[in-house]
């Protein structure tokens, strides 16, 4: 694979994927629907590089060179000559399918079409294209520059070659890869965290224990770096609510049915760290 990547979606995940790709030497086209979204994403990338430079983990020259490898656009056609396209738009099947219909029309023959979904079966996304063998899941974790894992997910028709190219890309940007051989809803990581967050939320909602004590139990009892409710706040309560709903819709397994309080929190705007309050309060930065 050559070194040209397109990332569709300049939000937290898309900009993070663009950042690590450019830092690894790839030429990156970052696309979003508005200039405002693109500038916000680019600003986040620049600020992240500056933090790495301040900590001595990246030279100022390398940071500047990496920024120079990122171009932004509102035109999806700019992805036409990319060797690998990573979609990182909103976690909703219909939204992703619409993007993939367009990518199927635009992308060159042989391009890898990757989706950064955390819960939606790859086969359902690939089914709207004429090249399902070229579609693969590349589930990065937030924040992308810091998190070491990338979960690669095979759709029903994903080819060995597509999986190998996706692995080469993920490892090329410094990630450790696990492979999910059957794209059940939620894959491996989201199913595990969703089940844990749902049960922790039920314990919290019913007054069995405080959020702090539930998280402390997981940190000190199980060796988790962060408790499930603090993880929900970091990820976004809305993101996890959507993921658990996707898994529940697909499986009808009651252990993934999100507790009522999660929906109430999202309706009220208590989304976690990004809103200043979730299961815990956060000071505004």
Same domain, 69 and 152: yes
Asked if residue 285 has pLDDT above 80, the reply is: no
Same domain, 200 and 67: no
pLDDT over 70 for what percent of the chain?
99
Domain that holds residue 98: 4-180
72: left (phi over 0), alpha (psi -120 to 50) or beta: beta
Band of the pLDDT at 47, cuts 50, 70, 90? very high
Q: pLDDT by residue (tens digit) across 226-268?
A: 999 999 999 899 989 988 998 999 899 999 999 999 999 999 9
Q: pLDDT by residue (tens digit) across 163-213?
A: 999 999 999 999 999 999 999 989 999 999 999 999 999 999 999 999 999
Q: Which of 133, 162, 180 is the last residue of a domain?
A: 180
Q: pLDDT by residue (tens digit) across 99-133?
A: 999 999 999 999 999 999 988 899 999 999 999 99
Same domain, 126 and 39: yes
- State the pLDDT at residue 283: 84
Same domain, 160 and 21: yes
Same domain, 104 and 215: no
Spatial CB neighbours of 147, under 8 Å, sequence gap ≥ 6? 140, 141
Asked if residue 2 has pLDDT above 60, the reply is: no
Please give the model's pTM, rounded to 2 decimal places. Answer: 0.90
Same domain, 92 and 222: no
Q: 215 in a domain, yes or no? A: yes
Same domain, 156 and 267: no
Give the chain's domain count: 2
Same domain, 45 and 129: yes
Asked if residue 34 has pLDDT above 80, the reply is: yes
Q: 43 in a domain, yes or no? A: yes
Angle at 179 between CA 57 and CA 20, to 5 degrees: 25
Please enumerate, as own/partner, the contacts of 255-258 that have beta carbons within 8 Å and a separation of 24 or more: 255/195, 255/198, 255/199, 256/186, 256/191, 256/194, 256/195, 256/198, 257/198, 258/198, 258/201
Same domain, 104 and 222: no
């Amino acid at each position: 694979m050559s070194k040209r990547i397109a990332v569709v979606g300049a939000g937290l995940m898309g900009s993070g994927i663009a950042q690590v790709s450019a830092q690894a030497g790839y030429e990156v086209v970052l696309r979003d629907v508005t200039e405002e979204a693109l500038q916000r994403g680019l600003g986040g990338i620049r600020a992240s590089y500056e933090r790495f430079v301040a900590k001595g983990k990246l030279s100022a020259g390398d940071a500047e060179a990496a920024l120079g490898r990122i171009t932004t656009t509102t035109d999806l056609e700019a992805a036409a000559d990319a060797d690998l396209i990573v979609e990182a738009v909103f976690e909703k099947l219909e939204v992703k399918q619409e993007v993939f219909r367009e990518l199927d029309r635009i992308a060159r023959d042989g391009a890898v079409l990757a989706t950064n979904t955390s819960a939606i079966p790859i086969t359902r996304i690939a089914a709207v294209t004429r090249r399902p063998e070229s579609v693969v899941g590349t589930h990065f974790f937030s924040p992308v520059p810091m998190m070491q894992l990338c979960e690669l997910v095979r759709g029903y028709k994903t080819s060995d070659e597509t999986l190998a190219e996706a692995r080469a890309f993920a490892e090329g940007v410094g990630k450790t890869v696990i492979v999910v051989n059957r794209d059940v809803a939620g894959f491996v990581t989201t199913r595990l965290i969703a089940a844990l967050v749902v049960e922790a939320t039920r314990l919290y909602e019913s007054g069995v224990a405080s959020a702090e004590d539930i998280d402390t139990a997981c940190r000190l009892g199980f060796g988790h770096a962060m408790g499930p409710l603090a993880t929900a706040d970091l990820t976004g309560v809305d993101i996890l609510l959507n993921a658990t709903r996707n898994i529940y819709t697909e499986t009808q397994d009651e252990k993934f049915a999100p507790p009522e309080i999660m929906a109430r929190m999202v309706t009220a705007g208590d989304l976690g760290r990004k809103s200043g309050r979730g299961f815990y309060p956060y000071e505004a930065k």
